[in-house]
């Protein structure tokens, strides 16, 4: 499963290049000149070289933008849509729609990443605070060291924690890291995470279908394109839709996948198909699925945050329990006129 961004440091994403290309073309800059200018400004030398090669292909070899993009490996997921946009004279519109779609998905990923990082930070800070509390515990134990107190179990527990703090917290931190690693490796098996991921993938797929239909592709061609980058059962479903829509009405084909769609999304899509607004219908469903994924993850994240705070509270209670117990014992014995 991959719902996190892969790009770090100076690595330039396709969406950044696409935005620059769109802006320059809107300003009536030729494609080859736009590619050349972008290449000159990129901090990523490898990407800059690929763009320079693409610019030469367009200006010197007479290649189209999609042909050059395929040759240098840019916009691989969307190059067919860009080609349709160029052939129909809607290249700027297609680029703008692709940019909006990618930014919407990037915003969703950013929120999900934030939801993942926060409880990890809380856990890490709690471990550091817990380690610091062992020094406080040592000072308190020394301050409460009364005659005979060393025979009391709470005092012995406190002394054991203080004397072995390094070993205990190495085990503690290692255990927490192990749990996090296991959860991360098996996240795709967790129903909540799996549903969020599927909604993100489907949301993007339906947005691509919308853009493909808007660009002039037939429903069969649109779903064939989407099937190429989909995963799991949806690859088969999209291929089935592509094949069946060649010989049957698209409305009938959608009825075949009703069980895989949320009921409200299915109804919306049927209405849009009947009113000849398929592209708009798939765009609305795609946006809704992405937003629903964020909402579901936010709910799951709230439970994780509560667990993280409980984790901190329990840690403090456990570490300071020898002090509480000793104080209560001291008060009880003082009231009874007894010493340790």
For the chain, give the longest Cα–Cα distance.
101
The alpha carbon dihedral of 168, 171, 174, 179 has a sign of: negative
State the pLDDT at residue 196. Answer: 75
Give counts: helices (H), strands (E), the chain.
14, 0
Look at residues 195, 201, 186, 190 and name the one whose alpha carbon lies nearest to residue 295: 195
Average pLDDT taken over every residue of the chain = 78
pLDDT at 334: 62
Domain extents in the chain: 14-76, 107-340
Rounded to an integer, what distance in angstroms lies between the CA atom of residue 166 and that of residue 162?
Answer: 9
Residue with tokens 């999900």: 112
Residue 283, token pair as written in the block = 């765009």
pLDDT tens digit string along 224-272?
878 877 767 788 888 998 999 888 888 888 888 888 888 888 888 888 8
Q: Which of 281, 229, 285 lies closest to 250, judged by CA?
A: 281
Write down the pLDDT at residue 6: 36
Confidence band (pLDDT; 50, 70, 90) for 338? Answer: low
- Asked whether the predicted pLDDT for residue 336 surpasses 70, the reply is no
- Does the pLDDT value for residue 12 go beyond 70? no
Give the whole-angstrom CA distance, residue 268 versus residue 97. Answer: 21
Phi-psi label, residue 337: left if phi above 0, alpha if psi -120 to 50, beta otherwise: left
**CA distances, 40 to each of 49, 95, 142, 265 (Å):** 9, 21, 67, 45
Phi, psi of 186 (to 5 degrees): -110, 20
Q: pLDDT by residue (tens digit) across 137-174? A: 788 777 766 666 677 777 787 788 888 888 888 887 88
- pTM of full prediction above 0.75: no
Of 157, 248, 172, 241, nearest to 205 by C-alpha is 241
Quote the pLDDT of residue 189.
Answer: 67
pLDDT tens-digit series, residues 160-215: 888 888 888 888 788 878 877 776 676 656 676 777 777 777 888 888 888 888 87
């Amino acid at each position: 499963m991959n719902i996190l961004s892969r790009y770090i440091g100076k690595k330039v994403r396709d969406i950044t290049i696409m935005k620059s290309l769109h802006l320059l073309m809107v300003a009536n800059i030729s494609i080859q000149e736009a590619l050349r200018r972008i290449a000159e400004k990129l901090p990523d030398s490898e990407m800059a070289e690929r763009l320079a090669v693409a610019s030469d292909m367009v200006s010197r070899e007479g290649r189209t933008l999609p042909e050059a993009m395929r040759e240098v490996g840019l916009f691989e997921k969307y190059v067919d849509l860009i080609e349709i946009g160029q052939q129909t004279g809607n290249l700027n519109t297609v680029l703008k729609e692709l940019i909006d779609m990618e930014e919407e998905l990037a915003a969703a990923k950013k929120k999900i990443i934030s939801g993942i990082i926060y409880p990890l930070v809380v856990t890490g800070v709690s471990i550091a605070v817990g380690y610091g509390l062992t020094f406080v515990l040592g000072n308190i134990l020394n301050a409460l060291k009364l005659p005979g107190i060393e025979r009391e179990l709470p005092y012995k527990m406190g002394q054991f924690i203080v004397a072995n703090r390094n070993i205990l917290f190495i085990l503690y931190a290692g255990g927490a890291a192990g749990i996090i690693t296991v959860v991360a490796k098996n996240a795709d098996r967790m129903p909540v995470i799996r549903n969020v991921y599927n909604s993100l993938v489907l949301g993007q797929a339906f947005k691509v279908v919308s853009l493909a239909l808007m660009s002039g592709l037939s429903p069969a061609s649109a779903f064939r394109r989407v099937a190429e980058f989909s995963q799991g059962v949806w690859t088969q479903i999209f291929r089935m839709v592509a094949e069946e829509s060649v010989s049957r009405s698209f409305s009938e084909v959608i009825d075949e996948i009703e069980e895989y769609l949320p009921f409200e999304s299915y109804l919306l899509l049927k209405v849009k198909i009947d009113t000849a607004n398929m592209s708009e219908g798939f765009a609305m469903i795609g946006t809704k699925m992405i937003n629903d994924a964020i909402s579901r993850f936010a709910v799951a994240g709230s439970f994780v945050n509560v667990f993280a705070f409980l984790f901190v509270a329990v840690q403090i209670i456990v570490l300071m329990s020898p002090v509480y117990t000793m104080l209560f014992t001291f008060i009880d014995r003082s009231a009874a006129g007894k010493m340790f």
